[in-house]
Amino acid sequence: MQLKENAIKVAEVLTEALPYIQKFTGKTIVVKFGGNAMTDAKLQNSFARDVVLMKLVGMNPIVVHGGGPQIGKLLEKLDIQSTFVDGMRVTDSATMDVVEMVLGASVNKQIVSLINSNGGQAIGITGKDGNLIQAKKLAFRKNSPEMKADEIIDIGHVGEVKSINRSVIDLLVSSDFIPVIAPIGVADDGSSYNINADLVAGKVAEVLQAEKLILLTNVAGLKDKGGAVLTGLSAQRVDELIEDGTIFGGMLPKISCALEAVKSGVKSAHIIDGRVAHAVLLEIFTDTGVGTLIKQR
C-alpha cells in the first residue's frame, strides 16, 4: 500500500511540473550559486541534480558562483589579513591572487565536477576567458558628513561589470554544455577584478534576456515587516517596499540586483532559500515555490 501511495505522489509531482517544463523549454535560466548551498555536501548535490534535470528537459541553465567563505579560509591559512568596507573585501594584489586561485580553480572546478558526476556536461570558465566579463574598477563612494561630500575609497581589485561578451556563453550553450562562471573580470589593461557574483549573474541574465534570474541565499526570501515571505511582486511594488523601509540592510543589494535585471528585460527574478534541498526545482516547477518572485508587472 505504501509503495502505491509513494507512486501516486510521484505522479502528482510530475503532473504539477509538466506545464512548467512545457513553458520553459528552450528558455535561459541564470542561477547564482552561493550561501549554504555551496558549503553543505547534501545541498551541493541537490543543486547539481537540479541543474542537470533542467538541462535534460530542454532548459538552458547558466551557473554563476561566489566563494566568499572559501576565499576567507585560504587567506586565513596564508596569514593574509582581510579588511572590509561596508561588507566588501578590500582586495590588494596578494588577495586578488588568492581570489583567482579559489574562484577560478578550486571552487569552479568543484562545481563542474559535481554537475558532471550527476550526469551533466559542464564547462567552467572565468570572466577572463574569451574576455567574457569586461570589467572596470569599482569607484566606491562612502558618505562622509565631516567632508560634506562623498568620500571615494580605494578598495583595490574590486570591480563592476562594464560589458558581457555573450558570444562565449552562446558558443557553450549551442554545444550543449552548461556554463559555470567564476565572477572574475578583466579590464582593458589586463588587470583582474573580483566582482560580486550577484551582480555578474544579473548582468549575464540581462544580456541574454533570460527567462529567469535565480539568486540562492541563506534566508527564506524577502519578508514584510511582520516576517511573512513576500512573493509575486511587481517591480513597482518592490520600489515601494524600498521606499517605505521594508527592504533595507543586507537584503537591499540583492533585491536591487534582481530589480535591475527585471527592469532590463529579464522576465522574472527569484530570491530563494538555498538551505532547502532542490530549492531551484521547487521554485521553477511547483505552484508554491520557495522564495520571493519579482516580475516585470
For residue range 165-210, list pLDDT tens digits in order. 999 999 999 999 999 999 999 999 999 999 999 999 999 999 999 9
The pLDDT value given to residue 151: 56
Has residue 287 been placed in a domain?
yes
SS3 214: strand
Has residue 14 been placed in a domain?
no
CATH of the domain at 42: 3.40.1160.10
The pLDDT value given to residue 81: 86
Cβ within 8 Å of residue 162, ≥6 positions away:
134, 135, 136, 185, 187
Has residue 237 been placed in a domain?
yes
Question: What's the pTM value of the predicted model, to 2 decimals?
Answer: 0.91
Mean pLDDT over 132-158 rounds to 72
- Give the pLDDT confidence of 53-101 residue by residue, as tens digits: 999 999 999 999 999 889 889 999 999 988 877 777 888 899 899 999 9
Instruction: Give the domain range for residue 57.
Output: 22-295
Count of structural domains within the chain: 1
Has residue 11 been placed in a domain?
no
Has residue 137 been placed in a domain?
yes
- Give the pLDDT confidence of 258-296 residue by residue, as tens digits: 999 999 999 999 999 999 999 999 999 988 788 899 998
Has residue 191 been placed in a domain?
yes
Mean pLDDT over 108-136 rounds to 96
pLDDT exceeds 60 at position 146: no
Q: What percent of the chain has pLDDT over 90?
A: 58
Cβ within 8 Å of residue 256, ≥6 positions away:
242
Has residue 164 been placed in a domain?
yes
Establish how many alpha carbons lie within 13 A of residue 81's alpha carbon, considering only the half-sphere containing its beta carbon. Answer: 1
Segment (H or E) for 152: strand 149-153
Has residue 4 been placed in a domain?
no
Answer for the pair 185, 133: CB distance below 8 angstroms, yes or no.
Answer: yes
